[in-house]
Every structure is written in C-alpha cells, then in structure tokens.
Amino acid sequence: MEKSLKETFGLKSADPLRVSSLSLAYIGDAVFALYVRTVLLERKNGSHGDLHHRTLPYVSAVGQAKMALGLEAVLTEEEAAVFRRGRNAKPEHGAKNASTREYHLATGLEALFGYLYLQDREDRITELLKAGMPYAEQ
C-alpha cells in the first residue's frame, strides 16, 4: 500500500496542536485554495480565466475574513481555539489589499483549515467551506 503525502513526509503522526499557528496557516492556505477551486469546478466548469476570477472573492484575505466571522458560531471549542491561535499569531507581513484585522481573521481561518487537514478531517473542511462560502459572497 502506498503512503499518503503526509505519511511520506512524516506529517501523518504530527500532533497538529504542536505545529506553530503560522505553519498551520501556511498549509491551510493551500488546502483552502484547493477546496474552493474544487467546489467551484463542481458547481460550474468554465475556462481557466473564469474559474480563476470566481475563486478570487473566496481566497482573498477579505473574503476569508468574512467567512471566518460567519463561521465562528458553528466552530467546536477545539476549532475555535485553533482559530484564535492563528488569528493572534504575529505574521512577518500583512495583506496588500486588506486591513490588519481582516488579515488576522484570514490567518486564523487558514490555520483552522491546516489543522483539520493534518487531522484528516476532510469531511469537516468541506462542511465548513460550504457553510462559509456564502459569507464571502456578501
């Protein structure tokens, strides 16, 4: 049986609670973008440019901040703690087109998605993403 990517690089056994918040956000950023693109592709196939254009409102710090605020009420206690850790982290730089508050909220959301990914909680990632996408559309 082949190893998963996480197993190959030793992340399968990593305790996500011991991974730094910014590292969780780093992997969560990629996971978030992949899941958004997958959902959008599932909804409507289109040209590369069209898909890219439809992705932007969700993957921007502003869109992620809106999603984070909308999802706060449905997070478990554990998820909320991970989100707060990410939100309160001190990144080396800020967003170009977002306020500091929006950037921190987006980092918290990305940290949460990274945490869930490392826990193999893809079902929860999908659930939160689908529940949160309408907030980014506002």
The catalytic residues are 29
CA-closest candidate to residue 95, choices 135, 60, 53: 60
How many CA atoms lie less than 13 Å away from 68 in the CB half-sphere?
A: 28
Tell me how far apart the alpha carbons of residues 73 and 21 are, in angstroms, rounded to a whole number.
21
* CB-based contact 107:25 (threshold 8 Å): yes
How many CA atoms lie less than 13 Å away from 127 in the CB half-sphere?
A: 10
